[in-house]
Structure 1
């Protein structure tokens, strides 16, 4: 199942990513001051996807990517894709799985995967 993953950046701001069913990141959001901002954007994406625009672009080195915008404001930028076909597959996968995607919150603790002490 695809998922939105909320986490904290090193600068203490929050972000979220959208990961495919195989765990590959499709896009990363802008920095948000509050975790609730991430939650609101995710909820809006899931409930009002038609109000968002996908803007396709290319890097100077020829890689493809897209930006998710609303009202002219960029909310997320995708990973880089090697071909335009792969870019479209990334967008299609997002559109197909976003309604049922779960939200995982990894911003709560710095030790989501805490180290286990070994017994001697």
Structure 2
């Protein structure tokens, strides 16, 4: 099962990533001004996964990625993949596990792993 991980960006805005069962980032969200907006976006996505569309692309460098749209609006951008098959596996993992994934909030503590 994957996880949604909320974090705070250097510009004091919030974002979240969806990670695979193995801990690899599959996609990164758009940025949000307030933390509760990112939490609401995750919950909305989890309950409306059927409204998501995935647009596949290939970068100029030959890497593959996808844009995740929710209700036709940009929602997230995937990491870069080496093959189109891996892109599809990332999408399949989202469809299968996103609705049951937990939410982890690391936005309040910059020092998660202390010495």
Query: 2:6 matched to which residue of 1?
Result: 6
Q: Which runs of 4+ in 1 moved over 4 A?
A: none
CA-to-aligned-CA distance 1:81-120 (integer Å, 9 cap, x gap): 11111110110011111121000000011112222xxxxx
CA distance in 2, matches of 1:22, 1:70: 25
Query: 2:21 matched to which residue of 1?
Result: 21
Residue 45 (structure 1) aligned with residue 45 (structure 2): yes
Greater Cα radius of gyration, structure 1 or 2: 1
Contact persistence 2:45–2:70 (CA under 8 A) = no
Q: CA deviation at 1:72?
A: 3.1
**TM-score, normalisation: structure 1:** 0.91
CA-to-aligned-CA distance 1:11-48 (integer Å, 9 cap, x gap): 11000000000000000001110111111111011101
CA-to-aligned-CA distance 1:48-91 (integer Å, 9 cap, x gap): 11122111111111111011112432110000111111110110
**TM-score, normalisation: structure 2:** 0.95
CA distance in 2, matches of 1:47, 1:5: 17
RMSD, aligned CA: 1.0
Where in structure 2 are there 5+ consecutive unaligned residues?
Answer: none
Where in structure 1 are there 5+ consecutive unaligned residues?
Answer: 116-120
Query: 1:66 matched to which residue of 2?
Result: 66
